[in-house]
A and B are shown apart, each in its own frame.
Chain A
């Protein structure tokens, strides 16, 4: 059963990485990456809350996904991709140094978190927290909610 859950979870996670290979416009690509982050974070959060049992393989897979997402993400904000149905803040383009600092921190933190190779739930909680602190700090200045 536990095996099955892990297989299922992996099956769910894998497509989350796929969008890193560009298949549409920058908006669709970066939104797909964020959607994957959301799905992985829900998976991880549920394991930490005890909603689903902790599984080290899934936990490490989630952390690896974060590394891939953080690495791919900044490439999908080319000049001119600030229009249309996007929640990306104009600050991404008007404050490039701050944006670079935020995306670099996201990359550094995800690599450091994945490198811990977690085997217990508390370890995963720590690594997960390292990564997810970036959600708030980046969404504070670089995302504008429209609904």
Chain B
């Protein structure tokens, strides 16, 4: 009996140690970390492609106020309330961050003090970005105005309040590999678009359904989903549903009007405002990729 108890205790200890190891935050290997200094001018493009302002600037901010990244509105989801933090270059933001800290946040979802971020911060997409783009983005963020104030952290329900659990989640859902296998003859714009959509643009975070564990369901990539913030539906943008031409998709991203002159609405309004800041070539690339992804009904 005593031996049995001892064995059990040993097993539990072993399990705890194994659990501790598999859930530990994984930082980028030194050889892979972005090298600075980045180019702030190039980083502006990545900033708009990534839509940083939509979550980190104040809700409803317009014009230059979208560059004040003191932390935006709370994102309410089934898992809990997420508060986007201050990412301005001030003391309440990223003032003390190194480029390596930033890269680990972006591509590994790990904070400078070694904790997991919740994937409401879409590092599962940002993981597909190049180190050079990370460096440029970091340089650009550093050029923006400092904003004072740290918004209070959001409240998470059990068991999601155990951050270590995210380590396990990441083992399943954090994967830097491209999602769609484009055919060998795929055009250069569609490949450029793949990078923008799957990486910085993080379109699939809303446009793909999620598994019960909260990971993106890659079998229904971009095939539409329930709105994570409440009622309504986020549309299927694969060729299985979206019948617009590539030119019409690009035009929608530029103007906010559908081919029938219905207007963009909901949370896509902010996204479209970001997309409008990109070049025609980048919008055309996004459209080319969306025409090339597997059609899902």
Interface of A with B (CB < 8 Å)?
A: 38, 41-42, 45, 89-90, 132, 135-137, 139-140, 143-147
Contacts and interface: CB of A to CB of B under 8 A. Distances in A.
Q: Is the interface of B mostly helix, strand, loop or mixed?
A: loop
A45 B266 contact: no
B265 A143 contact: yes
B232 interface: yes
Interface of B: 227, 231-233, 235, 256-257, 260-267, 269-270, 272
Given A144-B232, A146-B232, A139 B260 contact: no
Nearest to A140: B269
B261 A145 contact: no
A136 B263 contact: yes
Nearest to B234: A145
B269 A139 contact: yes
Contact of B261 (A41, A137, A139): A41
A144 B231 contact: yes
B265 A140 contact: yes
A136 B269 CA distance: 6
A138 to B, nearest CB: 8
Contacts of A132: 257, 263
B263 A139 contact: yes
Contacts of A147: 233, 235
B260 A145 contact: no
A89 B3 CA distance: 64
B234 to A, nearest CB: 8
A132 B235 CA distance: 23
B222 to A, nearest CB: 16
Given A136-B256, A139-B264, A144-B232, 5 more contacts: A38-B260, A41-B261, A45-B257, A135-B263, A140-B270
Query: What are the 4 tightest A-B residue pairs by CB atom distance, in nearest-first order?
Result: A139-B265, A135-B263, A144-B232, A140-B269
A145 B235 contact: yes
Nearest to B265: A139
Contacts of B266: 139-140, 143-145
